[in-house]
Amino acid sequence: MITNAIQQKRKWTIAMAEPCNDDTLAIRLTAGDETALHELYAEYGKRLFAYALRLTNDHAKAEDVVQDVLVTVWRTAYRYRGEGRFIAWLLGIVHHTAMNAIRHTSIAISDAMEDTIASNTLPPENLTQRNMQSEWVKQGLESLDSDHRAVLELVFYQGLSMEEIAKVCQIPLGTVKSRLSYARQKLKGILIRQNAEEWR
């Protein structure tokens, strides 16, 4: 099942990477073509919204972010010069806008809150193996702060390379690696704790 999902996503990633009318779309936006904005949203709206939602964790806030992003894209489309993928450029704007939006409202999840999350999980006997796996991953992702969630989203859903992630998040390559490493440690820690709960 996991393999199928990955294969399906790979096909989708390849399809998205095929040359499309991104350059034309940017030129049309620069020229003030309103239908180009609708086309952009039809093409990339879901991915932009998913990333905004992943960063903000709030549906209404994610809507505001995407709306701001569209306004920004409309005003700055001339800056896109075809260097790199259009989606990476768009996600960079989403990242910047979302980070500005959550800067003052973000609450980092502490270890104490993490323990609460772990203790609130359903008893293992009520969960199938598949559900249990999904549950700990969900807990693990929720325990990460928006910076780390962002990197995971960009790797697994948006299909970006390490260099593209660095550009989107405006961080050095080393920081991308360290965020992935931190996410791995955190997820492994929760997985181990979860396994210990099952054995108890």
For other proteins, the closer of residues 109 and 157 by Cβ is 157
Q: How far is the CB of 31 from other proteins (least distance, A)?
A: 4
Q: Could you give the 3-state DSSP secondary structure of residue 141?
A: helix
Q: Residue 186 Cβ, how far from other proteins at the closest point, in Å?
A: 11
What's the count of helices (H) and strands (E) in the chain, helices before strands? 10, 0
- Give the shortest CB-68-to-other proteins separation in angstroms: 8
Query: Judged by CB, which is closer to other proteins: 35, or 112?
Result: 35
Nearest-Å Rg of the Cα atoms of the chain is 19
Q: How far is the CB of 92 from other proteins (least distance, A)?
A: 18
Residue whose CB is less far from other proteins, 66 or 87: 66
For other proteins, give the closer residue by CB, 62 or 112: 62
Query: Which residues would be at the binding site for other proteins (CB under 8 A)?
Result: 1-2, 5-7, 9-10, 13, 23-24, 27-28, 30-34, 36-38, 40-41, 45-46, 49-50, 53, 63, 66-67, 70-71, 74-75, 77-78, 81, 133-134, 137-138, 140-141, 152-153, 155-157, 159-162, 177, 180-181, 184, 187-188, 191
176 in Cβ contact with 162 (< 8 Å): yes
**Phi and psi (nearest 5°) for 48?**
-65, -45
Nearest residue (CB) to other proteins, 88 versus 112? 88
Q: Which is nearer to other proteins, 112 or 168 (CB)?
A: 168
Q: Tokens for 108, please give them.
A: 């980092």
The span from the CA of 115 to the CA of 120, in Å, is 9
Residue 194 CB contacts under 8 Å (≥ 6 apart), including other chains: 118, 121, 132, 136, 139
The string of DSSP letters for 83-104 reads: SS-HHHHHHHHHHHHHHHHHTT
**Smallest distance from the beta carbon of 10 to other proteins, in angstroms?**
4
Phi–psi pair at 160, nearest 5 degrees: -90, 155
* End-to-end Cα distance, the chain: 29
- What is the closest distance, in whole angstroms, from the C-beta atom of residue 47 to other proteins in the complex? 9
